[in-house]
Amino acid sequence: MFTRKPLIFAALLALGSSAAFAQGPNLGKPIDPAELAAWDISILPDGTGLPAGSGTSAQGAPIYAQKCAMCHGPEGKGGANAAVVGGAPIKDMESVKTIANFWPYATTLFDYIRRAMPWQQPRSLTNDEVYALTAYILALNKLTGENDTMDAKTLPKVKMPNRDGFIIRFPDKI
- State the first-to-last Cα distance of the chain, in angstroms, to the nearest integer: 64
Question: Which pLDDT score, from 0 to 100, does residue 19 have?
Answer: 64
Beta bridge partners of 150: 55
Question: Which pLDDT score, from 0 to 100, does residue 21 have?
Answer: 67
pLDDT band for 135, please (50, 70, 90 cuts). very high
- Is residue 84 within 8 Å of 133, Cβ to Cβ? no
Beta bridge partners of 56: 149
Domains of the chain as residue ranges with CATH: 51-161 (1.10.760.10)
> Mean pLDDT across the stretch 153-165?
95
Question: Which pLDDT score, from 0 to 100, does residue 26 have?
Answer: 78
For residues 109 and 73, give the distance between their C-alpha atoms in angstroms, rounded to a whole number. Answer: 18
Strands (DSSP E) found in the chain: 54-56, 149-151
Question: Which pLDDT score, from 0 to 100, does residue 2 have?
Answer: 62
Predicted TM-score (pTM) of the model is 0.78
Does the pLDDT at position 101 exceed 60? Answer: yes
Question: Which pLDDT score, from 0 to 100, does residue 22 have?
Answer: 67
* CA-wise closest residue to 96 among 106, 107, 105, 85: 85
pLDDT band for 51, please (50, 70, 90 cuts). very high
